[in-house]
Structure 1
Amino acid sequence: MKRVLLTSIAAALFAAACSHQPVQKSAALPEGVRFVEAVSATEDGITIPYKKYQLSNGLTVLIHEDHSDPLVHVDVTYHVGSAREEIGKSGFAHFFEHMMFQGSEHVADEEHFKIITEAGGTLNGTTNSDRTNYFQTVPANQLETMLWLEADRMGFLLDAVTQQKFEVQRETVKNERGQRYDNAPYGLLRERVAEALYPEGHPYSWQTIGYIEDLNRVNVNDLKAFFLRWYGPNNAVLTIGGDVDVAQTLKWVDKYFGSIPVGPAVTDMEKMPAKLDNDRYISMEDNVHLPLLYINFPTVYAFHEDEAALDILAEIMGQGKTSLLYQNLVKNQIAVQASASHPCAELACNFTMLALPNPALMQGKTLADLEAVIRKTLVEFEQRGVQDDDLIKAKAKLEASKTFGLESVSGKVSQLAYFETFLDDANYVGKDLKRYQNVTKADVMRVYEQYIKGQKAVIMSIVPKGAKQLIAHEDTYTPKPRTLPEYAPIGDTDLVYRRPQDNFDRSVKPQPGQAPGVNLPKTWTEKLANGIEVLGAEYDETPTVSLSVELNVGHRHVPVEKAGLAQLTAAMMNETTKNYSNEQFALELEKLGSSISFSAGDNYSSLNVSSLSKNLDKTLQLAVERLLNPAFTEADFARVKAQAIQGIEHSKKQPTVTANNAFSKLLFGATHPLGQPSSGTVESVKALTLDEVKAFYAQYFSPSVASIVVVGDVPKAKLLKQLNVFAEWPAQNVAQPGLPKANTLGKTRIYLIDKPGAAQSEIRIGNHALPYDATGEYYRAGLMNFNLGGAFNSRINLNLREDKGYTYGARSGFSGAEDYGYFSAGAGVRTDATDKSIVEFLKEIRSYREQGMTEAELQFLKNAIGQRDARAYETPSQKLNFLFQMMRYDLKPDFVDQQQKILREISLEELNQLANKLLDVEQMQIVVVGDAKAVLPGLEVLGYEIVRMDAEGNVL
């Protein structure tokens, strides 16, 4: 649980500190609400302005006003995570996060997601070892409804928790574990390390997801007891931020939360950093391509006086191209990846180092050789010491990261909630920054000497199956078998409910006020001297600038036999330039706190730049150096190419990637550029040469196919002068090849890719569809799909996840570009439900096509999509995406108004006609990636032709 430091908007960022206002008179507040403090902006520090209150039942309330956008963010954080679970009942905190979305006494089953979605909002919940939070961002007129919802599940949940809901969500949690842990390469790393690092029974000795055996043995009353113990208002912080009226908000908070009875007392847990007497070597075989070495030193705990220095030590050791691990492992091609970090949680922190070796250098070697290099790197740091630039770049990075973190109200709210929950001090942002600013060279060397040098660690080796000989050391530690207490079921009479007493009818859902208007970015357009079009928007809430140089060149421009060339060229553009070595460039960039990176996709290549506005001139000089003066050295090419190949090999172990690649190959064909992965294949990338990269750059990187989108707090005139550095780029004509014809697909078939032993199956179903059109049939098709598979409450997701428990999530949708498009539906499902999931997918699509959506679904669609634009343009990144969409498809800003008009006027008949036209399940191809031995018998019963494919989507 590593914190991201966030602060308030720009006005508060550089002229803000704690100013505690006088205590207000109680008469000004609703009865039962007590004013605690107010923090506002002053001249000598940094803070997030807020007001703090407390209800008589112990609920802490924080309110942050931000009227820059017509939205609000509501967060309820409970000080309970997996660390407060009982032995043998792991996973309860996360399990309960799921149950909190299943309806409460006055909110019907499946209604929580539906209400927020229909309000134009977005929502989620997260659980870690120390806290669970629930949050939603909605248009400002929906605030009362959000408070009503959160209060109802805090005070009236348990009567709505049924055995059936319990069973379905238990399966959903198992599916989540399968998808993120058991079926993911290296997915069990942290679970195994925690078992070795902490003694049995330590609160961090199990993962938040929990153990399947624990989830299997409990009943619904165990879960209810967990709620009654930890989900009282006195163990919660309610934080509200955005376009709010404080007085009215407090009235609503008092109305909906004030009568909820106080829960059992909650005290802070004892800090429990791990302690080791000896190095503990552990290992496991996994379905991975590359071995992995992971070293974990126990250190302190969150907010300990040494935490900041340890964080900076991790930056020096293993963050970025100037770090020691990068220099000694990645640059030298000993490893394809190496890093260090210092993750912290409430009770304990750990200093970790990770490396994946370059297989070209593994002949005759093991992870012990990699460990030796890492150990020597620690000695090198000790002899080298901390340099001035180490602190400068670490602190600059911190300033930049927290400044960019100010861009959303959700970011500010989450920080207030975090600091209040763990420190009882929401006004800790400035203090947190200062403890990093105050770190000295001596501090960093001291924590190295105290916590790393000569200290014991857990060293884990993960190796491919059958390659046990590659581990760093024979195992010296084996966790004892879990000793579970005898299970004693909790009966209904053992539960004592706390029932609020109200003087109003909670079953009446609040009616929102008038929907707020949408603040579309005010845009401007200019051209540089060499013809580059610039589309910009001013943004003055943070002192930052974000821009992208977009090049109309990507994977689609590459011959099939050279697949991967566009991405490899982009990767080379991130390397040495003619005037800077990698280390020099990285150091200059890090000292500015800026980021510059190239990337390439199917259709475009992008140069992405983020900078504090005060550093924009220097940052743009570096960006132009990257763009115009790539050195394209043989050493860089050898390393980057090796990394690309290993990335492809790694992706083969990821079922989601395998399924997506196979589906694309089916749609477009093996001889079509888009039928090959943009990363290329091992064979195609191995064959690429440095001369081909240089030729691709020379042919396609030109102002004639470039445009710039930019958002920042710099005035247009000044910004254009700064952007003139790109005007020196000489123009040349670039031919744009068209796409060949895609595959013609016939009747429905099942294409099966074997993944022996897979815990889940990945399913993709779909066919060709419409090219992108912002206001045409493509846009309307997206509207049509919303109720089928485009929302949490869609038919597909409710069926497969909420009703059947087959999956963690299922979806469908239309995707497209200017000249191609497709429809796809998919999910990762339980292996034993593979055939049944396909049946349900096809049943829902067929029913939707034949019977259409209902009037109620039409209204839900119109409400949800009609109101969500209120939160669509809040941050610079959202504005940048909006500008790029306009630039790419030659749209005027009023295309949003046109879409809203279409939405208001579209009829049920038109949408149902589209469903009938576009959703023919007899012409959809089905890809399944799973354990063929387990799933094939069920698939054969479905009656479709089954075609076997290899891991790269080639028919066998």
Structure 2
Amino acid sequence: MKKITVYLSAALVWTMVNAAYSQTKLVEKVTRQGKELVIPYEKYVLPNGLTLVVHEDHSDPIVHVDVTYHVGSAREEIGKSGFAHFFEHMMFQGSDHVADDEHFKIVTESGGTLNGSTNRDRTNYYETLPSNQLERALWLEADRMGFLLDAVTQKKFEIQRATVKNERGQNYDNRPYGLAGENVAKNLFPYGHPYSWLTIGYIEDLNRVNVNDLKNFFLRWYSPNNAVLTIGGDVNAKQVLALTEKYFGSIPRGPEVTKTQVPSPVLDKDRYVSYEDNVRFPMLQIVFPTVPTYHPDEAPLDALAEILGGGKNSLFYKNFVKAQLAVQANASHPATELAGQLAMTVLPFPDKRLDSTEALVRRTLAEFEKRGVTDDDIAQFTATREAQLIDGLSSVSGKVSQLAAFQTYLNNPNYLPQELKRYKAVTKADVMRVYNQYVKGKNAVILTVYPKGKPEIVAKPDNYTVSTAGYKAPDYGYNGLAYTKPKDTFERKTKPGPGPNPTLKVPPFWTDKLPNGLKVIGTKNDEIPTVTMLFSIKGGHLLSANDPAKAGIAQLTAALMNEATQHYSNEQLNTKLEKLGSSVDIRANTEEINVSVESLTRNLDSTLALVEEKLFRPKFAPEDFERLKKQQLELIANQGTQPVVIANKAYNKLIYGTDNIRSVPVSGTTKSVEAITLDDVKAFYAKYFSPSVTNLVIVGDIEQAAVLPKLTFLNKWAAKPVTVPTAAVTRKIDKTRIYLIDKEKAAQSEIRIGYLTDMPYDATGEYYKTGLANYMLGGAFNSRINMNLREDKGYTYGARSGFSSTHTPGPFTAQAGVKAAATDSSVVEFIKEMTNYSKAGITDQELAFVKSSLGQVDALRYETSLQKAYFLGRVIDYDLPRNFTEQQSEILRGITKAQIDAIAKKRLPINNMVITVVGNKELIKPGLERLGYELVELDKDGNPMAASTTTTAAPARAGSSKP
């Protein structure tokens, strides 16, 4: 690593407040020497305080732009929670020179993707685009940094407030255990501590906030001197600097921002707290306060969490999951800027009391004290962390995010070498020291989440109430803030055009076929020293069509293949893999069983030896079978508590029909899994695991000539004939009906609307063209459906539609989670948008947007090893020609409005669809009945309930939605 530091005079950097800026000079430049783990960059500071970090990476024709503001929920105060996250939403609602709802549209039509995120300590906004669109991204980000507030209207404010409430409903209130974090935070940290509430905030705070409060929050924190602009990709640092000075240089400096200082939480006793939730499994969570991120003790505490409950080698897994006392048990150590917490979480089976669970946790800690820390523990931990750090460098966005975080929190973008060093330096003594310092004999918050009507199972009665004593509201300096717009010497309202089109790099690939029929496809990717392999063994859950009474067997077989083999216990296998920094994971899905392999290139031989062991020598031990079968049955039972799962299961049953295996979840049913024996699993493996139906994708830092000799062990795999069932899938729907499933007291309703198509997947035919037609209906963020339900009405956090076929035809589905009170209105709006699109088709402007957006997005599709692997997987699975992407581009360029209109008319049969709604029947049924469709009530398994049909007047017409 070579590091050059240039110190700027204080007069240049720190005193030119709101004055004309001069040419910014280089502060620091870091380059890589050899293959050391370093992210090269140049760092600048503009006179207004904006920090610019530029990383050049010319491997792909893309650029990633990230603006990180050092403001999160930790800058909020009592009674005004959720401001930072709320403002994240407002920053997408237009500014002086960017019209309402244009931000997403501009980036998307430029072939890019974008989003924002908020956590306790920072808010960031980011775009990934083709590299010729860099100037447009900078223009957009600068406009909302310097020209936002006049565009913040009361109407936008109200719509985004509704959207944030919907987000809370979807991700917290309507999700099992969704409020656990909120309950821990308010009881772990003192009243008023900036971590004592979640980033999403409280509903009552969102209700009381007004638009002026929000504007003041922006003026206090969203200024260039509290921001880091990080840009990486196929760019030139000098060009980036010039554009940054042009668009950001005139934005005035804001109020000074200092680091928040708060005392660490001190607990005078174990705090027992609890709440009721609509869950099957109770939850016990024990949380100890620890240290902030980058603290010297963070790394050994991370190691402690890994040893206690980080995987299948951990003590928690052994004592709870393997002992069949819990469906899940783990430990983690999330640390953020002001504090950390060591959390131990157990989900025991429904028949367990939480006092016995707590007692076993404490016995497990005592076992750890006696056992101590082993050399293997440290070797596994350090190898795994090194692999994770390397994997984080696989994309430009990953490198940019890392640079931005290091600069924001440490003022040092070049912290990665130190990050690796501090994790490699962890010793056995360090881990025992932090255990004794932060856990042994220390007090914790002990949270019980208990199923409805079962408060008696809590670990102990609640013994703690939050006290407001001693709280003093902070003075964040909101008084006297003024909005001063930049003064420019150029016309900012002119949207920059793109630069020269970059050269698209579709991965060049090689193919091969082993003598036993196994097909191989691969490409070299030397950006990081890793190899990704994806085995796809065809059949999966579809093979249960041969014996539907044993549905779920593919998932159970895959789970058993992740356990012990004939030569190694599961613990021995995981020890070997983790010491290599590798992973081998086997999972079943509807159409295949996938084996995913990740390895550092230097450890590929050792990793493949373990792949061979797992693939060809599974032990299928009776004790593993009984445990995994029990877990699968419990998880099936648990699905009845999750609205999203309930909706998907019922919808699939209605779409495919009960005689189609696709109407049964991959996990199977209680009845079918109970019927599976260990001999059934062995027979399934013996009959259906064959190289003749297996594809292998290889992407990584290795040549074809070097990797093929390493695969000779696969030649021993004997081929056998396997026929994957192709059940008839065309199920006719005679008329549109509403199917209602009750989810008592649900904060939101889950809606699925659609039908089963007659189109299998194709890359260049009708299916591909139909996907183009759907893009403006429900495929893009600024599609008609999403703009209506989310941005215009505030009914949902997000709504979409799409076609999803594979080798056999799949469904068209429009879907959303919506606030309960707007359930019937949302159904009307969905139908209205589909009806209008079917009748009137696409507009010329929309068609131009589709062509612009999808015509450039390929630049983003092949960057990482995993992206390349999925691309090649599709090529080999569907036997696509090498130039299929060129054929798609030609189709896209030539498709006409008349063609899109004809597709929309043909593919949106409004009168022959299934409408599935899962929600609080007491609240939503009357409104749904007024829509005029036949209404059929189903139970949570998707079966009709006796005497449930309601028929009313003619269906509501498009546009008749009620507020």
TM-score range, shorter chain: over 0.9
Distance 1:541 1:284, change over 3 A: same
Alpha-carbon distance in 2 for matches of 1:185, 1:728 = 46
Structure 1 residue 304, shift from structure 2 partner: 1.0
Pair 515,30 (structure 1): closer, same or farther in 2 beyond 3 Å: farther
SS in 2 for 1:853: coil
Report the TM-score when normalising by structure 2. 0.95
With over 3 angstroms needed to count, the CA separation of the structure-2 counterparts of 1:898 and 1:635, relative to structure 1, is same
Given that 2:6 and 2:27 are in contact with CA atoms closer than 8 Å, whether structure 1 keeps it comes out as no
Q: Measure how far apart 1:742 and its partner are.
A: 4.3
The residue type paired with residue 893 of structure 1 is R
Q: Matches of 1:944 and 1:485 in 2, distance apart?
A: 57
Alignment of 1:238 onto 2:222? no
Counting only pairs closer than 5 Å after superposition, residues 361-510 of structure 1 correspond to structure 2 as 362=351, 365-480=352-467, 496-510=482-496
Q: Distance in 1 between matches of 2:541 and 2:135?
A: 48
Size of the aligned set, in residue pairs, is: 932
Match for 1:663: what amino acid?
A: Y
Counterpart residue number, 2:904? 915
2:826 aligned with 1:826, yes or no? no
Q: In the TM superposition, what are the counterparts of 1:59-74 in structure 2 within 5 Å? A: 59-74=50-65
Letter in 2 for 1:516: P
**Cα deviation, residue 214, structure 1:** 0.5
Task: Indicate if the aligned counterparts of 2:729 and 2:809 stay in contact, CA closer than 8 A.
Answer: no
Is this contact kept in 2: 1:554–1:604, CA < 8 A?
yes
For structure 2, list consecutive stretches of 5 or more residues without a partner in the other structure. Answer: 13-19, 946-963
CA distance in 2, matches of 1:272, 1:142: 45
1:104-503 paired onto structure 2 within 5 Å: 104-359=95-350, 362=351, 365-480=352-467, 496-503=482-489
Distance in structure 2 (CA, Å) of the matches to 1:200 and 1:808: 30
Deviation sequence 1:344-388 (CA, Å, 0-9, x none): 0100000110011133xx3xx411111111111111111111100
Query: Structure 1 residues 692, 663: CA separation in 2 closer, same or farther (over 3 Å shift)?
Result: same
- Any conservation in 2 of the 1:120–1:866 contact (CA below 8 Å)? yes
Q: CA deviation at 1:812?
A: 0.4
Paired residue secondary structure (1:435): helix
Alignment correspondent of 1:926: 915
User: CA separation of 1:308/1:483 partners in 2, compared to 1, >3 Å: closer, same or farther?
Assistant: closer
1:937 aligns with 2:926: yes
Structure 1 residue 593 corresponds to structure 2 residue 581 = yes
User: In structure 2, what residue type is equivalent to 1:20?
Assistant: I
User: Quick check: 1:18–1:47 contact (8 Å CA) kept in 2?
Assistant: no
* 1:563 aligns with one of 529, 533, 551: 551
Q: Deviations over 1:915-938 (max 9, x none)?
A: 000102111110000000100110
**What amino acid is aligned across from residue 882 of structure 1 in structure 2?**
F
Tell whether the 8 Å contact from 1:288 to 1:653 is kept in structure 2 after alignment.
yes
Q: How does 1:690-769 map to 2 (within 5 A)?
A: 690-769=678-757
1:639 aligns with 2:627: yes
Alpha-carbon contact 1:19-1:41 (below 8 Å) kept: no
CA contact (8 A) 2:751 2:918 kept: yes
How much has 1:515 moved relative to structure 2? Answer: 1.9
- Summarize deviations over 1:168-204 as a string: whole Å, max 9, x none: 0000000000000000000000100111111110000
* Amino acid in the other structure paired with 2:609: Q
| Uncovered stretches (5+) of structure 1, i.e. residues with no partner | 1-16
Aligned with residue 93 of structure 2, among 96, 102, 105: 102
The alpha-carbon deviation at position 30 of structure 1 amounts to 8.9
1:515 match: 501
Greater displacement, 323-332 / 758-767: 323-332
Residue 227 of structure 1, CA deviation: 0.1
Contact persistence 1:87–1:484 (CA under 8 A): no
Aligned residues of 2:110 and 2:852 also touching (Cα < 8 A): yes
Aligned partner of 1:535 among 497, 521, 526:
521
Whether 1:81 aligns to 2:72 is yes
Q: Does 2:673 align with 1:682?
A: no
Residue number in structure 2 paired with 1:836 = 825
Aligned: 1:798 with 2:782: no
- Identity value in percent: 57
SS in 2 for 1:340: strand
Contact 2:583 2:599 in 1 (8 A): yes
What's the RMSD between the two structures over aligned residues? 1.9
Alignment match of 2:877 (pick from 877, 888, 896): 888
Matched, 1:547 2:518: no
What's the offset of the Cα at 1:271? Answer: 4.4
Q: Distance in 1 between matches of 2:298 and 2:320?
A: 26
1:621 pairs with 609, 632, 636, which one?
609
Report the Cα distance in structure 2 between the residues aligned to 1:419 and 1:479, rounded to whole angstroms. 34
Moved more, 915-924 or 89-98: 915-924
Q: Deviations over 1:47-97 (max 9, x none)?
A: 211000011000000000000000000000000000101211000000000
* Structure 1 residue corresponding to 2:26, chosen from 35, 49, 71: 35
Structure 1 position 680, deviation (Å)? 1.2
Instruction: Go from structure 1 to structure 2 and tell me whether the alpha carbon gap of 1:30 and 1:45 turns closer, same or farther (over 3 Å shift).
Output: farther
Cα-to-partner distance string for 1:555-575 (whole Å, 9 max, x where unaligned): 111033222111111111111
Deviations 1:605-643 (A, max 9, x none): 111101001111110110011011111111101111111
What is residue 3 of structure 1 aligned with on the other side?
none
Pick closer, same or farther for the CA change 1:487–1:265 going to 2, 3 Å: closer
Which deviates the most, 720-729 or 36-45?
36-45
Query: Contact conserved, 1:291 with 1:463, CA < 8 A, in 2?
Result: yes
SS in 2 for 1:923: coil
Distance in structure 1 (CA, Å) of the matches to 2:6 and 2:769:
55
SS at match of 1:816: coil
Q: Which residue of 2 aligns with 1:610?
A: 598
Looking at structure 1, the residues matched to 936 and 6 of structure 2 have their Cα atoms a distance apart, in angstroms, of 74
> Which amino acid is 2:601 matched to?
S
Report the Cα offset of residue 795 of structure 1: 0.4
Contact 2:67 2:125 in 1 (8 A): yes
Q: Confirm or deny: 8 A CA contact 1:560 1:671 kept in the other structure.
A: no
Superposition deviation, residue 483 in structure 1: 12
**Corresponding residue for residue 960 of structure 2:** none
CA distance in 2, matches of 1:739, 1:298: 55
SS in 2 for 1:117: helix
Q: TM-score, normalised by structure 1?
A: 0.96
Q: 1:772–1:817: 8 Å Cα contact kept in structure 2?
A: yes
User: Paired residue for 1:846?
Assistant: 835
Residue 11 (structure 1) aligns with: none
Match of 2:4 among 5, 14, 20: 20
Deviation per CA, 1:753-798, whole angstroms, max 9, x where unpaired? 0001000000000011221111110000000000000001000000
Which deviates further from its counterpart, 258-267 or 377-386? Answer: 377-386
Amino acid at match of 1:166: F
- State the partner residue of 1:14: none
- State the alpha-carbon separation in 2 of the partners of residues 190 and 486 from structure 1: 23
Contact 1:272 1:348 in 2 (8 A): no
Superposition deviation, residue 42 in structure 1: 2.6
| 1: CA distance, partners of 2:724 / 2:194 | 59
